[in-house]
Amino acid sequence: MSGAIETTDVLVVGSGPGGSIPAYRLAAAGAKVVVLERGPWLATEEFTHDLRIDTYTRIVDYITANGVSVVAGNCVGGSSVVYFAGALRTPSFVFNRRDTAGHRIWPKSMSRSALDPWYDLVEHTLPVAQQSWDDVPFAGGVWAAACHNAGHTCNPVPVAVDLAKCTNCNWMLNGCRFGAKRSMLLNYLPAARAHGADIRALHEVQTIGPATTSGYRYQVTYTNVDGSDYRVTTGGGVIEAKVVVLAAGAMATPAILQRSAPLLGKVPTAAGRYFSPNGDRVSMALLDEKKLHHVLGLQRKPGVAYEAFPIGKPIGSMTYDFLDHRRSAGSRYGLQQIYFPTITNILPESHAHGEWFGPAKKHLTDQWRSWLTVLAMVEDGNEGVFGTPPPTGAFTRIDAAAGLSSLSYRPTRATRKAWAESDASIRKIIEKDGVGKHLGWTATPNTLTAHPLSSCRIGDHAATSACTPDHQLRGHDGLFVTDGSSVPTSLCVNPSLTIAALAERASRHVVKAAAKAGIKVHTGKTPPPGRGSLGRAPG
Amino acid sequence: MALTRRQVLWLAAIGSAGVPAAAYAKTPAAHARPRTGSGTPLGTTSDPPTMTLEAWADTLIPGRKRYADDYAIAGAARGAGAVQAGAVDFMQFGPTGVSESLPAFVTALSAEATSYASSHRLMLDPTLPPFVALRYHDRKTLVASLTEQTSGDQQLLWFAFSGLVFLAYHTAGHLHTAHAVRSGHPGLKALGFPKPDADDLWRFPHFSYRRKLAHRHPKTTRTGQPA
């Protein structure tokens, strides 16, 4: 650590959608922006099609907590690099959700129509593509046909994918080797960099406290992470900023704030509470190839109806039928066809409440190409609570890609009931006319999610929301939270587009705060970023 | 945060969903034993710790015996199982990050097998490691008990070591996937894992039924979104 303290106008913590978008907006408005990202910086050609254990684990963290396990990105671009690119707007009824005390959870000023202009902006910028039926892979086609057979509608899912470039390889967890998935690496981050933002990989922020340099408000400390072993620290430093945007992800943001409490004076009690795994619940089905042909009329090639589980984009189709405001709370959920890599193959059970290992499971495995997995996203109860943060980092990193979090998640009876209802709905669709057999996918003590949310959420009530509706941490002017942790509830759809839309909306407030802090920025509209490639990390 | 030894073992091994808890080490692959998995010559037996690991793997994903007096593999299923898929090689693969924990795991499993035999009044062959000496039905009952009737860290530990076996069979996690598929890795072959193109990348030009298969929701927005 050098003696002089580095300064910048705006410091952004994290480079996923919640960090990249404010980084671009602030840089484009004229602010000096530094982005600190915990993970490594990989270029398109460095992403692999490989399940060898030392490949994809470079950019994905698997974090185990008490009652829940979380998959999250760990690289420049954050989870946008490893996500499955489903780009859905949150249904209107979600914004009106109330907690068990009857209080509205989302800010009163927030609704679907209020957020729609920001969704428009993000959809245009990424951009999001509408899949036609010609673009929906076989697995999505099977789910659509099964829904239709059971009397339900089913839609192709909008995706943040360049459909012309996509090879339908189904390796999205490893990052996109073909530059087709519209991660932050291809839009907001290169645009932020073009406007002078300084993006630094392998920098893990540890604390936020008061600045010592006149004219600056916050001092941020970080450690340098060894790119070959993330458990090793190679140094550290301090940066002081007038405005800080915290977007380290829903698993990391609360840890940074909790650790910083002695420095900041007081951190809202809601920081680190109300965590939601987005109500995620996976089911699976073993399909009957003959019935697929005779009942649903499907044929992939002569004599073969399906046998195509590993082919295509991971998310193809989804029924919106249960996203109906007229249904009772707990009975509203999205049911989406999705593919998971074989690293999760321990989870399916050989029958409804059956075995996850042994001869019957092996027999099930032999029919892997006839599997179908369906993700239900239900209304959960924000039951997660973070405990004492570790001395450094977001969790205790045991290995490069694995960590133990202080988070505790105990789903309420209402959440479990919602999962049971969504299971029953899937079963009804899949088992109609014997098209398939619905199977459990629960051979684990923990709930599994790739959609961590709400651990530092926005809201109108100080007791239940750490941030104000404009994403400012309560009691701390110029300190904003713009990642998935700011989302108030589970969304019943994949959350990435909503996180991005909220970050776009929040950026307007951050720019205003920057002006108030004396930074020379223009508060008018900045143009949407152009598209390009971020390329390799400097140096 | 204080970590129990079991938590460390567990996390160093694998997460509860079968997603790797692996580091990528700087050291090359540590293939300590050249004669495991599909490479085991006919008529040979492994050392007791290896036999115990093989029996654990075979209980989870069973397969055919490699040779007549193969005691580690119970022969509970046809075709190659986790042992032939390289489960022990994967456990000993440096980046998997658990090789140093294997002796403790074998000791714990042996103790559980001995206890199981005692409580079920079973006489074990003293020339075999205790878990190997159990019949398949008893191995399976014991594994179910360890993974489903324990709780907390203890449960996750057993579940984690189960995950290693699944990663070996279902991902060939100690091998580059393109090579594993081309060389007929037993697990990927059983799955029907697709073959890559010549450049070790996967592409599926034919990926869709290319026809309308359901009606869209009537309230779908102009951009394909739910209302």
pLDDT score recorded for residue A403:
87
Cis peptide before A127 (omega within 30 of 0): yes
Contact A240, A443 (CB under 8 A): no
Q: Would the pLDDT of A73 be above 60?
A: yes
Alpha-carbon span A224 to A353, nearest angstrom: 47
User: Quick one: CA torsion of A113, A118, A120, A126, rounded to 10 degrees?
Assistant: -150
Q: Would the pLDDT of A4 be above 80?
A: no
Q: Which helix (H) or strand (E) holds A76?
A: none
Give the residue from chain B lying closest to A314, CA to CA. B207
pLDDT score recorded for residue A3:
59
What is the average pLDDT value for chain A, to the nearest integer?
A: 94
Q: Would the pLDDT of B41 be above 80?
A: no
Measured from the Cβ of residue B89, the count of other Cβ atoms closer than 10 Å reads: 25
Partner-chain residue, chosen from B166, B201, B212, that has the shortest CB–CB distance to A133: B212
Contact A232, A399 (CB under 8 A): no
Contact A519, A27 (CB under 8 A): no
Of A51, A159, A444, the residue nearest B223 (C-alpha): A159
Q: Which two tokens stand for residue A303?
A: 């004599």
Alpha-carbon span A185 to A203, nearest angstrom: 18
Dihedral of alpha carbons A144, A148, A151, A155, sign: positive
Measured from the Cβ of residue A422, the count of other Cβ atoms closer than 10 Å reads: 25
Q: Which of residues 59-118 of B touch A (CB under 8 A)?
A: 59-62, 76-77, 79, 81, 90, 93, 95-97
Range B153-178 average pLDDT: 92
Q: Which residues in chain A are closer than 8 Å to B11, comparing Cβ atoms?
A: 64, 398-399, 402-404
Q: Is A1 helix (H, G, I), strand (E, B) or coil?
A: coil
Can you give the residue ranges of every domain in chain B?
A: 5-191
Contact B96, B19 (CB under 8 A): no
Contact A379, A90 (CB under 8 A): no
Q: Strands of A54-152 (E only): list them.
A: 60-66, 68-73
Return the percentage of chain A with pLDDT > 90, whole number.
88
Alpha-carbon span B160 to A480, nearest angstrom: 38
Q: Which helix (H) or strand (E) holds A215?
A: none
Partner-chain residue, chosen from B3, B21, B95, that has the shortest CB–CB distance to A396: B3
Q: Strands of A111-253 (E only): list them.
A: 155-156, 198-200, 203-210, 218-226, 229-246
Range A309-323 average pLDDT: 98
Q: Would the pLDDT of A519 be above 70?
A: yes
The yes or no reply on domain A6-516 and CATH 3.30.70.20 is no
Q: Would the pLDDT of A361 be above 50?
A: yes
Of B20, B50, B6, the residue nearest B146 (C-alpha): B6
Q: Is A491 helix (H, G, I), strand (E, B) or coil?
A: coil
Q: Note whether A300 contacts B93, CB cutoff 8 Å.
A: no
Q: What one-letter code names the amino acid at B122?
A: L
Dihedral of alpha carbons B11, A487, A313, A283, sign: positive
Q: Is B9 helix (H, G, I), strand (E, B) or coil?
A: helix
| Lowest mean per-residue pLDDT among A255-264, A277-286, B1-10, B138-147 | B1-10
Range B150-174 average pLDDT: 89
In degrees, rounded to 5, the angle at the alpha carbon of residue B44 between the alpha carbons of residues B111 and B191 is 80
pLDDT score recorded for residue A56:
94
Q: Which two tokens stand for residue B183?
A: 């060389």
pLDDT score recorded for residue A350:
82
pLDDT score recorded for residue B227:
97
Can you give the residue ranges of every domain in chain A?
A: 6-516
Tell me which of B40 and A408 has the higher pLDDT.
A408
Alpha-carbon span A16 to A23, nearest angstrom: 10
Of A188, A192, A223, A218, the residue nearest A205 (C-alpha): A223
Contact A509, A471 (CB under 8 A): yes
pLDDT score recorded for residue A44:
94
User: Quick one: CA torsion of A359, A364, A369, A374, rounded to 10 degrees?
Assistant: -140
Contact A202, A39 (CB under 8 A): yes
Return the percentage of chain B with pLDDT > 90, whole number.
70
Q: Which two tokens stand for residue A373?
A: 């997995």
Q: Note whether A346 contacts B17, CB cutoff 8 Å.
A: yes
Which residue has 């922006």 as its token pair? A33
Query: Buried b vs exposed e over B167-200: b needs ≥16 C-beta within 10 Å?
Result: bbbbbbbbbbbbebbeeebbbbbbbebbebeeee
Alpha-carbon span A238 to A261, nearest angstrom: 17
Alpha-carbon span B114 to B123, nearest angstrom: 10
Q: Would the pLDDT of A532 be above 80?
A: no
Residue A108: pLDDT band with limits 50, 70, 90:
very high
Residue B167: pLDDT band with limits 50, 70, 90:
very high
Helix axes of A17-28 and A496-516: crossing angle, nearest 10 degrees: 40
Of B96, B189, B158, B50, the residue nearest A362 (C-alpha): B189
Q: Note whether A133 contacts B167, CB cutoff 8 Å.
A: no
Alpha-carbon span A315 to A313, nearest angstrom: 6
User: pLDDT tens digit string along B110-119?
Assistant: 999 999 999 9
Q: Would the pLDDT of A529 be above 80?
A: no
Alpha-carbon span A6 to A203, nearest angstrom: 14
Q: Note whether A319 contacts B217, CB cutoff 8 Å.
A: yes
Q: Would the pLDDT of B35 be above 60?
A: no
The rounded Cα A69 to chain-centroid distance in angstroms is 14
Return the CA Rg of chain A.
Answer: 22
Q: Is B183 helix (H, G, I), strand (E, B) or coil?
A: coil
User: pLDDT tens digit string along B85-114?
Assistant: 999 999 999 888 888 899 999 999 999 999
Of A499, A416, A392, the residue nearest A453 (C-alpha): A499
Q: Which residues in chain B are closer than 8 Å to A365, comparing Cβ atoms?
A: 61, 169-170, 190-191
User: pLDDT tens digit string along A243-295?
Assistant: 999 999 999 999 999 999 999 999 999 999 999 999 999 999 999 999 999 99
User: pLDDT tens digit string along A439-455?
Assistant: 988 756 678 999 999 99
Dihedral of alpha carbons A131, A132, A136, A141, sign: positive
pLDDT score recorded for residue A2:
47
pLDDT score recorded for residue B30:
27
| Lowest mean per-residue pLDDT among A131-145, A488-502, B142-156, B211-225 | B142-156
Residue A1: pLDDT band with limits 50, 70, 90:
very low
Beta-bridge partner residues of A220:
A208, A239
pLDDT score recorded for residue A531:
62
User: pLDDT tens digit string along A145-191?
Assistant: 999 999 999 999 999 999 999 999 999 999 999 999 999 999 999 99
Q: Note whether A402 contacts B95, CB cutoff 8 Å.
A: no
Interface probe with B: pick from A42, A45, A54, most Cβ of B within 10 Å? A54
Q: Note whether B23 contacts A298, CB cutoff 8 Å.
A: no
Of B83, B105, B90, B107, the residue nearest B20 (C-alpha): B90
Alpha-carbon span A515 to A151, nearest angstrom: 55
Q: Strands of A379-434 (E only): list them.
A: 384-386, 396-399, 402-408
Which residue has 């143009």 as its token pair? A527
Give the residue from chain A lying closest to B81, CA to CA. A362
Q: Note whether A321 contacts B217, CB cutoff 8 Å.
A: yes
Of A384, A391, A37, the residue nearest A189 (C-alpha): A37
User: pLDDT tens digit string along A466-496?
Assistant: 999 999 999 999 999 999 999 999 999 999 9
pLDDT score recorded for residue A292:
98
Residue A352: pLDDT band with limits 50, 70, 90:
low
